[in-house]
Amino acid sequence: MTKPSQYKALFAPLKIGPVTAPNRFFASPHSTGHGWTEPKGAIALRAMKAEGGWGTVAVGLTEISPSSDYANHPMERIWDEKDIPRHHLQVNEIKKHGSLSAIELGHGGMQSRNLTTGLPIIGPSNLSILRPEIPSQSKAMDLTDIKSFRNEHKAAVKRSLKAGYDIIYVYAAHGLSILSHFLSVNTNKRLDQYGGTFENRIRLLKEVLEDTLEMANGTAAVALRFSIAEPDKPFGMSQDGEGRDVIEALAEHPDLWDINLSGWPKDSQTSRFADEGFQLEYTNFVKSITSKPVVGVGRFTSPDLMVSLIKNQQLDLIGGARPSIADPFLPSKIKNNQIENIRECIGCNVCVSMDAYGVPVKCTQNPTISEEWRKGWHPETPPISRKKETHLIIGSGPAGLECALTLANAGHEVTVAEAKDEPGGRIAQESKLPGLNTWRRVIDYRIFQLSQKKNAQIFLSSHMSINDITDFNSDTVTIATGATWRNDFIGSTNFDPIETNNYNILTPEDIILEKFKNSHKTKFIIYDDDHNYMASVIAEKLLNNNHDVTYVTPLPTVSTWTQYTLEQGAIIERLKSLGIKFALNYKINQNFEFVNTIDNKKLKLTSKNVVVVGGRIPNDRLFSDGQLFNTVQNVFLTGDCLVPGTMQAAVLLGHQTARKILDRNADALHSKREQTIH
């Protein structure tokens, strides 16, 4: 295989303390949502990254002891000897592909829940814990508690070494670690040798790092994951303040520095709010202070940027959490000169939302993630069919394209008929909204892949009638015609239509397609009963065009669901900066009044233009009138036209439909389940 010379630097081995990484691709620590109770799923997911060429694969946050109990947020555990075999298997599966394995040992401190263990939550001070959903305080650790915590950490290191890990992490990042809680003036109010001055607050981190190095004793490398800056926090770490001081104080201690931003919303920023490489401005200086290797993150998907970071000595290893989820084979595609085949992360954070739900991670770009063990799906090796068939797919949105690509990859003749004059369905539309351009990658990747195949074609401006479909005479027909935004105020909190003749009712589509054009400043009300990103981007578009916008929602918070993608804070800040007005807790009634759900007061409407962002109606006419069934044997419905949902859900449905088509007699969607009692 050719290894393009311009990317050679990415494939140079690198010594990390006593171990050597085979290349510069570092799959950063991330939880997979399987937790310690579904290890086979997590192991298969991580092994897939090793198979795809990530030279180092890190396991996500791993609780070191029962005093750091995150249940029911599925994390890894290494509490005692019984956990070792599971980790040992994980290490072997990663190493089988020649990659290094790393474990991120962590204690949640004031972020722990301890709901199952019932143990006191511990931290530097007696304060409310950092979880508003749990009404508990942390116990201020006395010197005996500190000693036992250090012993617990040492014991976890010992178990990790037994399991065979090459790199052992000390975790002081995201404000999710007891070590960060000791470091920060926000949470450390102690007056003893562990509080007050910087030297005192860093003491525990230094001790734990030294303990870990001593335990590893040159048999494994020791990494320190540290968040250099906390841009949102008053008195937080900063790259020119205490964040830098920590790097200087511990410069030559760890074998590897893994640096990033805190809190998690800053570290895993979406493409709407941050471009590729967004962390570099904070982390650039680290290599000038330490001689030890440095790994950093920032949604890196461009091989050119990656190689320039190595060559310019900004980083030694390219960290990737989301890019490695979206494409576990990113490194081997670069190695094999197949850059155009990389399925680039679009920065939507649906993966993060799954973590928040506590379920195995899902991804908009990679529908096979988390299905490696459960369903035996491989992201690069499609099931190949022995008998060649013809398949017609109507609609070229995310579901239609994914279905078409999976069928074409399996060797079938695939035709996609798109009624519009551009492909892409909802993504072609939504990606025109402010900040959402990167989402085009979902359709661009699939359209390019299909364009490279002799057995696939896409026809635009091809409106298909029942007769056209029948005449086409394909083995199967899949209808993927998407959904249309409702204008009748049926949404998440209202299931009955509301009508009015007194207002100009618009939908997101009207704004996206600029059906409402007005050069002078106009007042708009946006009624959000969808609660995802859409109302906020519509608002942003109107505000960018200098209109006056009031955001109204029946819920108590703005774009409520976006808390799961970590965007809610950034959305509020952006809309505020553009001059929006917010009216929360106002629910529409049948008289077309917006009534406050707390004090029953009515909102005074100052505009006749109301954009309603509510539910969507599936465009399933071709399917629902039943005629197709009389003439065509195998008809499938998929994506938003089966059930409107997220882009990720549409891609997954498209993939599932293709799998069903490929294996019509068997249960292609059967999932294995992990059982604890056999």
Ligand X SMILES: Cc1cc2nc3c(=O)[nH]c(=O)nc-3n(C[C@H](O)[C@H](O)[C@H](O)COP(=O)(O)O)c2cc1C
> Binding to ligand X (CB under 6 A): which residues in 37-96?
60-61
Residue 509 in contact with residue 634, Cβ under 8 Å? Answer: no
For residue 525, give the nearest of 593, 440, 451 by alpha carbon: 593
The answer to whether residue 173 forms part of the interface with ligand X (CB under 6 A) is yes
**Phi and psi angles of residue 539, each rounded to the nearest 5 degrees, phi first:** -60, -45
Burial environment of residue 455 by CB neighbours within 10 A (0 to 12, 13 to 18, 19 or more)? middle
Between CA 296 and CA 399 the distance in angstroms is 34
Residue 225 binds which entry of ligand X, ligand SF4, none, CB below 5-8 Å type-dependent: ligand X
- Which C-beta is closer to ligand X: that of 299 or that of 531? 299
- CB burial string 592-606: b at 16+ within 10 A, e below: bebbeeeeeeebebe
Over the window 329 to 368, marking each residue x when it contacts ligand SF4 by CB under 6 A and - when it does not, the resulting string is: ----------------xxxxxxx-----------xxx---
Minimum CB–partner distance for residue 261 and ligand X (Å): 8
Within 13 Å, how many C-alpha atoms sit on residue 454's CB side?
Answer: 0
Burial environment of residue 356 by CB neighbours within 10 A (0 to 12, 13 to 18, 19 or more)? middle
Candidate segments 22-30, 401-409, 591-599, 610-618, binder of ligand X by CB under 6 A:
22-30
Query: What are the Cα distances from residue 540, in Å, to 346, 537, 577?
Result: 20, 5, 10
The answer to whether residue 31 forms part of the interface with ligand SF4 (CB under 6 A) is no
Between CA 370 and CA 365 the distance in angstroms is 13
Assign 259 to helix, strand or coil: strand
Torsion over CA: 137, 139, 140, 141 (sign) = negative
Residue 657 parent element (H or E): helix 647-662
Residue 173 binds which entry of ligand SF4, ligand X, none, CB below 5-8 Å type-dependent: ligand X
Between CA 239 and CA 569 the distance in angstroms is 22
- Which C-beta is closer to ligand X: that of 202 or that of 318? 318
The answer to whether residue 370 forms part of the interface with ligand SF4 (CB under 6 A) is no
The answer to whether residue 29 forms part of the interface with ligand X (CB under 6 A) is yes
For residue 165, give the nearest of 267, 12, 252, 46 by alpha carbon: 46
Minimum CB–partner distance for residue 26 and ligand X (Å): 10
- Which C-beta is closer to ligand X: that of 29 or that of 123? 29
Candidate segments 198-206, 350-358, 384-392, 424-432, binder of ligand X by CB under 6 A:
350-358
The answer to whether residue 316 forms part of the interface with ligand X (CB under 6 A) is no
Residue 351 parent element (H or E): helix 350-357
For residue 529, give the nearest of 500, 492, 476, 561 by alpha carbon: 492
Minimum CB–partner distance for residue 259 and ligand X (Å): 10
For residue 153, give the nearest of 113, 108, 115, 196 by alpha carbon: 108
Residue 31 binds which entry of ligand X, ligand SF4, none, CB below 5-8 Å type-dependent: ligand X
Minimum CB–partner distance for residue 283 and ligand X (Å): 11
Between CA 170 and CA 633 the distance in angstroms is 59
> Binding to ligand SF4 (CB under 6 A): which residues in 286-325?
322, 325
Residue 348 binds which entry of ligand SF4, ligand X, none, CB below 5-8 Å type-dependent: ligand SF4
- Which C-beta is closer to ligand SF4: that of 363 or that of 580? 363
For residue 518, give the nearest of 534, 531, 506 by alpha carbon: 506
Minimum CB–partner distance for residue 14 and ligand SF4 (Å): 25
Assign 106 to helix, strand or coil: strand
Candidate segments 201-209, 305-313, 348-356, 669-677, binder of ligand X by CB under 6 A:
348-356
Here the tokens at position 39 are: 């290890």
- Which C-beta is closer to ligand SF4: that of 303 or that of 347? 347
Burial environment of residue 266 by CB neighbours within 10 A (0 to 12, 13 to 18, 19 or more)? buried
The answer to whether residue 328 forms part of the interface with ligand X (CB under 6 A) is no
The answer to whether residue 535 forms part of the interface with ligand X (CB under 6 A) is no
Here the tokens at position 329 are: 């084979």
**Distance linking the first and last C-alpha atoms of the chain:** 45
Candidate segments 10-18, 28-36, 135-143, 154-162, binder of ligand X by CB under 6 A:
28-36
- Which C-beta is closer to ligand X: that of 260 or that of 366? 260
Minimum CB–partner distance for residue 444 and ligand SF4 (Å): 13
Between CA 414 and CA 313 the distance in angstroms is 47
Minimum CB–partner distance for residue 640 and ligand SF4 (Å): 17
- Which C-beta is closer to ligand X: that of 152 or that of 355? 355
Minimum CB–partner distance for residue 406 and ligand X (Å): 24
Distance of CA 226 to the CA centre of its chain: 20
Minimum CB–partner distance for residue 365 and ligand SF4 (Å): 4
Minimum CB–partner distance for residue 346 and ligand SF4 (Å): 4
- Which C-beta is closer to ligand X: that of 42 or that of 610? 42
DSSP bridge pairs for 595 = 587, 602
Residue 175 parent element (H or E): none
Contacts of 196 (CB under 8 A, 6+ apart): 190
Over the window 164 to 203, marking each residue x when it contacts ligand SF4 by CB under 6 A and - when it does not, the resulting string is: ----------------------------------------
Give the interface size with ligand X as a residue count (CB under 6 A): 24
Residue 568 in contact with residue 559, Cβ under 8 Å? Answer: yes
Minimum CB–partner distance for residue 172 and ligand X (Å): 10
> Binding to ligand X (CB under 6 A): which residues in 256-285?
260, 267-268
Residue 622 in contact with residue 479, Cβ under 8 Å? Answer: yes
Q: Where are the beta strands (DSSP E) in 283-370?
A: 294-296, 317-320
The answer to whether residue 297 forms part of the interface with ligand X (CB under 6 A) is yes
Minimum CB–partner distance for residue 299 and ligand X (Å): 4
Token pair 């650039």 is found at 284
Candidate segments 107-115, 293-301, 538-546, 621-629, binder of ligand X by CB under 6 A:
293-301
The answer to whether residue 323 forms part of the interface with ligand X (CB under 6 A) is yes
The answer to whether residue 303 forms part of the interface with ligand X (CB under 6 A) is no
The answer to whether residue 374 forms part of the interface with ligand X (CB under 6 A) is no
- Which C-beta is closer to ligand X: that of 319 or that of 423? 319
- Which C-beta is closer to ligand SF4: that of 351 or that of 464? 351
Residues that bind ligand X (CB under 6 A): 28-31, 60-61, 104, 173, 225, 260, 267-268, 297-299, 319-323, 351-352, 355, 361
Residues that bind ligand SF4 (CB under 6 A): 322, 325-326, 345-351, 363-365
